[in-house]
């Protein structure tokens, strides 16, 4: 089951996931999220298994900032379900673009994004390539001004 929740519930799962080398304090997350954000939790059998957290960068662009799945629930479609729910929420609210960043050290996330139509839109290099940030974008609404080039 996926539901919109408060930031405190997401934070409890965020703190518990091993991938987050540096956990931001709750007040820091609140500051970055601002007024227009989405916090989703995927739960099953009373246990929170995954989350997605994002916010409006501007009226047309939604940024998918943090997300994760409990190691015990990986490979069971949790991340896919959360991604689809977040995209649907953003579309319903008129966002035209969804942006997200990931790193080479998260190959499952990279595959998920590419499989779902996200396009590489930039890089933030790091000394260690595993920590290079890969920027992705997905258009949520067709833009009539961007027609395919004629040959």
pTM: 0.89
Mean pLDDT across the stretch 54-79? 95
pLDDT at 21 over 80: no
Mean pLDDT across the stretch 140-147? 59
What does the domain layout of the chain look like in residue ranges? 2-139
| Nearest to 105, CA basis, from 135, 134, 130 | 130
Please answer whether residues 10 and 39 qualify as being in contact, where contact means their C-beta atoms are separated by less than 8 angstroms: yes
CATH of 2-139 among 3.40.50.300, 3.30.160.20, 3.40.630.30, 1.10.3720.10: 3.40.630.30
| Nearest to 2, CA basis, from 51, 56, 36 | 51
């Amino acid at each position: 089951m996926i539901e919109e929740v408060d930031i405190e519930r997401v934070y409890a799962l965020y703190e518990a996931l091993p991938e987050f080398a540096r956990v931001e304090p709750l007040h820091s997350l609140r500051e970055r999220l601002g007024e227009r954000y989405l916090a989703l939790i995927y739960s099953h059998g009373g246990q929170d298994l995954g989350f997605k957290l994002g916010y409006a960068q501007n009226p047309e662009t939604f940024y998918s900032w943090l997300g994760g799945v409990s190691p015990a629930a990986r490979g069971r479609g949790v991340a896919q379900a959360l991604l689809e729910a977040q995209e649907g929420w953003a579309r319903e609210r008129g966002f035209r673009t969804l942006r997200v960043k990931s790193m080479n050290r998260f190959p499952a996330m990279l595959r998920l994004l590419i499989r779902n139509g996200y396009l590489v839109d930039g890089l933030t290099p790091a000394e260690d390539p595993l920590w290079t940030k890969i920027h992705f974008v997905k258009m949520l609404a067709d833009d009539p001004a961007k027609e395919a080039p004629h040959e």
